[in-house]
Amino acid sequence: MNDHSHPHDDHEHPHPSETPVDAGSQALTEALRSSFAIVRVVMFLLVVVFLASGFFKVEPNERAMILRYGKPLGEGTKALLGPGLHWSFPYPIDEIQKVSVTGVQKVNSSVGWYATTPEMELAGTEPFAGPTLNPAVDSYTLTADANIIHVRSTLSYHVVDPKRYVFGFVAATNIVQNALNNAIVFASANYKVDDILTKDKAGFQKAIEKRATELLDKENVGVAVDQCDVQTTWPRQQTVKNAFIAVFNAQILRDKALQEASSHTNQVLTAAKPPSNAIVNLAEAQRAQYVNDISSRATNFLNILPWYKTNANLFVQQRFNETMGRVLTNIEEKIYVPERIDGKTRDLWLLLNREPPKPSTANTNQ
């Protein structure tokens, strides 16, 4: 009876062994609930950080392209991103390729140069040349007149088509390098050794630059050549080196002699110019005078021609008298011996006094 008089005592007073289990479950539930909240916050922050990491900046001298799973987004110029802040999905979804479009890039070619090291270059020293040239160690090029020289070059260029430069080739830099190597060998084979080393260095340099530019344009690498620096020298082996130096010195003496001769020529021409100009000017003045005189005489002849046609004999006699009067001016006695018309000879007797005439008395008294 007593048990039934208190039916709810078991619920109001749980068994002591069950109370710690329920409290632990509740604590675990709350801990899990808190952990899940923290995980959600952390995941949210991770997502925010992940997405925020997609922002990137393109500098003014750069262009950028977004590769989504390795494929460029956009076609043509639309695939290029200009300077400024941009966003893309972070790696590995998207990948950013930046290319400098104004920055100058360089490639060096030593396809025709002897073996050396950067340390030796900085120290200004050269490796041992040896008695003969070893092709396995020292590279060289052949000239048009079958001589051996050493040539190396540095090509400066900038990118004008970033998409073609990045995606058109596995390594566009290697294409530029090969074009420069080809240009060095090609230009060397078309120039004589004297022209390369002394006479036409600038022409040889331009030939290398032109050849490299043609090859790069043919392959459409997407670059533009800015400058090509070339360095040349003769073989370093002593015997050949001495021969080249002797020829080089002879050319210097020849050029000096030619320069002195040219200077002397200029001096002589400069000194002779004023006298020659004076002679030419005098000749021009005399020519003008003669032309004017002849022109005047011709006009006079044309004016008196009608008189001559009217009476030729009378005209001739009048002109003769005028001429003789002008020639024999101040002569007291004038004797004319006219020509015979019949063609016969005529004897002319002249009485010449050997003694000068004596002065008269009247003149003496005076």
| pLDDT one-digit tens code per residue, 298-309 | 998 888 888 888
Residue pair 83/58 in contact by the 8 Å Cβ criterion: yes
Which pLDDT band holds residue 351 (cuts at 50, 70, 90)?
A: low
Q: What is the mean pLDDT of residues 142-149?
A: 92
Which pLDDT band holds residue 209 (cuts at 50, 70, 90)?
A: very high
Q: What is the mean pLDDT of residues 32-38?
A: 78
**pTM for the complete prediction?**
0.53
Q: Is the pLDDT of residue 204 over 90?
A: yes
Q: What is the mean pLDDT of residues 211-223?
A: 93
Average pLDDT score, the chain: 80
Contacts of 107 (CB under 8 A, 6+ apart): 154, 155, 157, 173, 176, 177, 180
Q: Is the pLDDT of residue 347 over 90?
A: no
Identity of the amino acid at 170: V
Q: Is the pLDDT of residue 257 over 80?
A: yes
Which pLDDT band holds residue 2 (cuts at 50, 70, 90)?
A: very low
Q: Is the pLDDT of residue 225 over 90?
A: yes
Cα–Cα distance for residue pair 93/149, rounded to 1 Å = 53
Q: Is the pLDDT of residue 130 over 80?
A: no
Residue pair 225/107 in contact by the 8 Å Cβ criterion: no
Beta-carbon-side half-sphere exposure of residue 114 (alpha carbons within 13 Å): 20
